[in-house]
Structure 1
Amino acid sequence: MSQPSSRPHLTPQFCFNQTALRDFLRLSRSTIDDSITQNLNALHTPSRSPFNPSSTSTRSLTPPSSSRQIPAETCTSFKQKVLFPSWASRSDVLDYCAGVATSPDPDDPDSVLRQIEDAKVRERVVDERLDPYSARYFPQEARTESLAMLMRNERTVEKIIRSRTWSLVGERCGEGGSVDEAFDGWRREQGKGKR
């Protein structure tokens, strides 16, 4: 069985290092969600009796869905020990970095350069008859703005991935309900257990 992703040490520097942030999310998603079919197949217990070659001479007429069902206790264990903890670590990272993106950034190394560039643009005299494109100014975005855009995109990706994963878990484990209800219920249970 796969292991849940461990949450990295959360600092603003981790969030602003978009390569490290994306690598964590990519690795966590590939380990659990992208390979959910293989993870669920690994939970399915194969035939308990010794292999009988004559069993291949006849075709089984059992519906594929019933032969693919995973025992409830195995599914519950997988969800509580692997799937939901992995989702929780990604949620914690996304929430923390979204908070960093909306906070003031006094350590932004490019803020002074942006201020100088803005001042130059305000002082510049432009004759648009000579060069109609000279009035264009494309300010460099702050790293918090870039991080905020990345967080919006990653939250959308996370929602899609969880929905897909949950539909496969529901198919194989006989789960019902929404992904948000199940995950939020698990988080509430974890919160009660920690007190």
Structure 2
Amino acid sequence: MVVNKRSFSAPQSLLESNLPFSNDEPALTGITITREQCVDQSLIDSFLRFLRHGSDDTIRQKLNNYRRAPSDGGNKCKEFLKQELYPNWQIRNNIISFCEKEAAEMKAETDQRSNGTGKSSTDSIIDARLDPYAAREQIEEQESRYKDLNKVRNWVANNRKIEQILTSVTARILRQNCDQNEDYLKQFTQFCKDNT
């Protein structure tokens, strides 16, 4: 089986910002994700916490910093969106999408193993007679695979909801502080299309 993996690192602007964390947890600034990290999400959660803190949690402070910076005639809000916020959102979206794809592959593999193990039903009966624990072990293994699959699916659904809430709140703050007529979520969708 081919092991899918993908590496992500925090946007450079976030690494340079030196934003303090509320706890003593060291900031995880880069990560390589495999299926194992999608099943045991502690590293991914730590990285997402760092990214979320660096943009959405500190959005007002970031906008103030951009407004205080010497103006070069350009729009500071657009600069912030292009250089910091949208790249941050895109990384988070890509991480969740990676685990979502892994969940789809896990489902296909688990279904294939459950439906077509390559043995006939008589072989399974013979195996069960020779080894009375074989059937139970097979069921436990199948339940374990579905348990991991459900864990990843729940994590993906939960993080999609978190992202929806965060981006909606941030878009509202942007409308209050930048251009109230802009659709920042639609702009982000376009940003992702332009940067794939």
Q: Size of the alignment, in residue pairs?
A: 146
Q: Deviations over 1:69-112 (max 9, x none)?
A: xx8621111100100000010010010101111212769xxx9x
Report how far residue 174 of structure 1 moved: 1.2
2:189 to 165, 184, 189: 184
Does 39-48 or 180-189 show the bigger shift?
39-48
Contact 1:7 1:90 in 2 (8 A): no
Report how far residue 144 of structure 1 moved: 1.4
Segments of 5+ residues of structure 1 without an aligned counterpart are 49-70, 121-138
Task: Say if 1:118 and 1:35 are closer, same or farther in 2 by CA, change over 3 A.
Answer: same
Task: Say if 1:73 and 1:46 are closer, same or farther in 2 by CA, change over 3 A.
Answer: closer
Report how far residue 118 of structure 1 moved: 7.3
Q: What amino acid does structure 1 have at the position aligned with 2:177? A: R
The percent of aligned pairs where both chains have the same amino acid is: 22
TM-score by length of 2: 0.63
Contact 1:33 1:162 in 2 (8 A): yes
- Whose helix fraction is larger, Structure 1's or Structure 2's? 2
Other-structure match for 1:163: 168
Residues in 1 aligned to 2:175 and 2:139: alpha-carbon distance in whole angstroms: 57
Q: Deviations over 1:48-69 (max 9, x none)?
A: 9xxxxxxxxxxxxxxxxxxxxx
Contact 1:163 1:179 in 2 (8 A): no
Report how far residue 175 of structure 1 moved: 4.4
Segments of 5+ residues of structure 2 without an aligned counterpart are 1-11, 16-27, 115-132
Other-structure match for 1:92: 94
Residues in 2 aligned to 1:94 and 1:36: alpha-carbon distance in whole angstroms: 22
1:173 to 164, 174, 178: 178
Q: Deviations over 1:145-170 (max 9, x none)?
A: 11101100110010000011111112
Contact 1:6 1:89 in 2 (8 A): no
Other-structure match for 2:14: 3
Report how far residue 25 of structure 1 moved: 1.2
Task: Say if 1:46 and 1:143 are closer, same or farther in 2 by CA, change over 3 A.
Answer: closer
Report how far residue 45 of structure 1 moved: 2.0
Residues in 2 aligned to 1:47 and 1:177: alpha-carbon distance in whole angstroms: 24
Residues in 2 aligned to 1:119 and 1:183: alpha-carbon distance in whole angstroms: 45
Other-structure match for 1:18: 41
Task: Say if 1:167 and 1:2 are closer, same or farther in 2 by CA, change over 3 A.
Answer: farther
Other-structure match for 2:136: 116
Q: Which structure has more RCO (C-alpha within 8 Å, separation ≥ 6)? A: 1
Tell me the C-alpha RMSD between the 2 structures.
3.3
Task: Say if 1:7 and 1:190 are closer, same or farther in 2 by CA, change over 3 A.
Answer: farther
TM-score by length of 1: 0.63
